[in-house]
Amino acid sequence: MEIIFPDGSKREYAAGVTGAEVAASLSGRLAKEAVAVRVGEQLLDLSAPLTDGAAVQFITANEPEGLEVLRHSASHIMAQAVLRLFPGAKLAIGPAIENGFYYDFDLERPLTPEDLTAIQAEMDKIIKENYPIERFEMSKAEALKYFQEKGEIYKVELVEGLEDGSISFYRQGEFVDLCRGPHLPSTGYLKAYKLMSIAGAYWRGDSSKKMLQRIYGTAFAKKSDLEAYLHLLEEAAKRDHRKLGKELDLFSVNEDVGGGLVLWHPKGARIRHEIESFWREEHYKNGYDLVYTPHIGRGQLWETSGHLGFYRENMYSAMEVDGQEYFVKPMNCPFHLAIYKSKGRSYRELPFRWAELGTVYRYEKSGVLHGLMRVRGFTQDDAHIICRPDQMPEEIDRVLQFCLFMLRSFGFNEFKVYLATRPEGSVGDDARWQAATEALRASVERAKLSYEVDEGGGAFYGPKIDIKIKDALGREWQCSTIQFDFNEPERFGLTYKGSDGADHQPYMIHRALLGSLERFFGVLIEHYEGAFPLWLAPVQAVVLPVLQDNIEYARQVLDELRAAGIRAELDQRNEKIGYRIREAQLQKIPYMVIVGEKEAVAGTVAVRSRREGDLGTWERVDLVARLRQEIAEKKI
């Protein structure tokens, strides 16, 4: 029989040859590194016999598909270890996920961190025993009987949901599991892994069903990759915005107030003020008008917008006002459309660019709330551009360039761009979708940005551009969206008088540059590890008198800094100067202005930078000039 390789070359093999045998015939290294084989669109175990004329591609654990195979097998090895240590455990599901794997178990007692250590030790034994991982099949009836006899109630439920016919299983030593595969050739292939944590998880994600115990782990092709990932996690833990938010006194979430509702403390509020001030100034410069809209609206408004039809489960309960239902707003757009409809519009007036820092409220389950990243009340940097079809390409170019400028201003220079196209079940005619999609594509290409097409990833009401930023650790964060909407202009009956005297429906573009202020602030905290650039820092300089006798001069220096618009504080505690310098460094204050008897006599200051250390003695006027220039230039 003939096998075809990716470069088009062909070789003949004996009938029934397996992927493993073909890999071994090509290279000893490939035989060691391959974990699966792709035949056409199907990913198969290396032990699977190949057919005549098969076009094959070998997959290693260094590739995303191969890494998924490795992690899926790791979840089976972990389940085998758990059953050895806890023979009464019931198995649920155990998939590979981004950055690792997990398995859900029904156990008689809660697991402890010590149990994780024991499970990993047992996994090491299973890996050393190097069991072949073998695929076999049963009929549905046989599978049901097998699991019923074992008392595996969750597996029985899974099998009951499958269609009649052959069902695939995998065996490694004494362990057997229901699975589509593919898997590693043997347990010995797993070299670099670590069990990470224990969490609760409802069976099938249904809170009305039993809470199971989920063990998370991670696995990589090489030990060096695992070590790099664990180091990344350590760095991420240091930068965790929840930890830094508390240490730097920036924000809090209080259960008495309500989960997912953020309290901005004075220092965090000062940073927010600087972000908002910059945002407003730049919007005015870029031809936007700012609007303000209410926090609640009549039920009829949300009926017209369609939110009560497709978004009701994310909206908070209605309140009654004058015998009518009102809802707290989950989005700002219906209010902006109401402004548009407040009077007749002419083609000469378009485009309108209306922006709002609008606070919205959306229901999130308590289990997914996460600091500033996932909340129930947040402020969107929202804007809606209403334009004629002929204005669309220029408007997209403008908003895309504006978006990149804003992100770069905050220190983000690496982007991942996605063009999301029409999904099934969307609204609007094909011509408009095609024109809008091509306008988005052309704009991204004119900006010379590399991008990926997210087929079918658009909203039901229009295509979009999504921009993800990379932070200091290389993690991606979704912030910016440029989104067409063919639905709401039609639902609200938006029109303008064209040059022909007839009514026409305008195009509408939703856009968010930073996303929500809460989430963006969380990203900023982690990106800078709380050490904000001078223009954003809540306290830009702290004046430190060496002795209590120097306080009067220190206050004079403080007044000069504040008069120059610099956010400065005085630390006059009766503590040693070294202690107060360390405290300022821990609070990540950019500049420490130290004044002793020598400086008081000379009228100078000793300056220490958070980044550069000791900067020596400065004239006060020169220090003020340096700080003002650095703030004005928004140096990162």
pLDDT band with cut points at 50, 70 and 90 for residue 311:
confident
338 exposure class (CB count in 10 Å sphere: 0-12, 13-18, 19+): middle
Instruction: Average the pLDDT over 570-585 and give the result.
Output: 96
Structural domains present in the chain: 2-60 (3.10.20.30), 65-234 (3.30.980.10), 251-293+332-528 (3.30.930.10), 541-632 (3.40.50.800)
Tokens at 520, concatenated: 């963006």
> Chain-wide mean pLDDT for the chain?
95
Enzyme catalytic residues:
333, 362, 380, 382, 384, 464, 510
- Residue 324 CB partners (closer than 8 Å, separation 6+): 298, 299, 300
Q: What is the mean pLDDT of residues 471-478?
A: 92
Percentage of residues of the chain with pLDDT beyond 90? 92
Contact 477, 471 (CB under 8 A): yes
Give the pLDDT score at 432: 84
pLDDT band, residue 205 (cuts 50/70/90):
confident
pLDDT value of position 540: 98
CA distance 5 to 546: 75
Q: Burial, 578: exposed, middle or buried (Cβ in 10 Å; 0-12, 13-18, 19+)?
A: exposed
- 339: phi then psi, degrees, rounded to nearest 5: -65, -45
For the chain, the residue count is 636
- Rg, C-alpha atoms of the chain: 31
Mean pLDDT value of segment 290-307 = 94
Average pLDDT rounded to a whole number, residues 124-130:
98
Cα separation, 98 vs 111, whole angstroms: 23
List pLDDT tens digits, range 73-102: 999 999 999 999 999 999 999 999 999 999
Note the pLDDT tens digit of each residue in 107-123.
999 999 999 999 999 99
Q: What per-residue confidence (pLDDT) applies to 426?
A: 80
- Give me the pLDDT at residue 252, please: 97
Is the model's pLDDT at 224 over the cut of 90? Answer: yes
Confidence tier at 422 by pLDDT (50, 70, 90): very high
- Residue 229 pLDDT greater than 80, yes or no: yes
* Predicted local confidence at residue 487, as pLDDT: 85
Query: According to the model, what pLDDT value does residue 459 have?
Result: 83
Nearest to 187, CA basis, from 122, 109, 98: 122
pLDDT at 466: 94
Q: Of 343-347, 391-395, 458-462, which range is least confident?
A: 458-462
Q: How far apart are CA 74 and CA 183, in angstroms?
A: 9
Total Cβ atoms within 10 A of residue 529 = 16
- pLDDT at residue number 202: 92
Instruction: Please list the alpha-helical segments (H only) found in 492-566.
Output: 517-528, 551-563
Whole-prediction pTM value? 0.87
- Integer CA distances (angstroms), 267 to 21, 148, 422, 483, 579, in order: 64, 60, 43, 33, 22
Q: What is the pLDDT of residue 382?
A: 93
- Residue 605's pLDDT band, with cuts at 50, 70 and 90, is very high
Q: Please tell me the predicted confidence (pLDDT) of residue 41.
A: 87
Q: Kindly tell me if the per-residue pLDDT of 547 is higher than 90.
A: yes
From the centroid of its chain, how far is CA 514? 13
Q: Is the pLDDT of residue 68 over 90?
A: yes
Per residue in 436-463, pLDDT (tens digit) is: 899 999 999 999 999 999 999 888 888 9
- The answer on pLDDT for 414 being more than 80 is yes
Model pLDDT, residue 58: 96
Beta strands in 61-123 (DSSP E): 90-91, 96-97, 100-106
pLDDT of residue 236: 94
pLDDT at position 344 over 90: yes
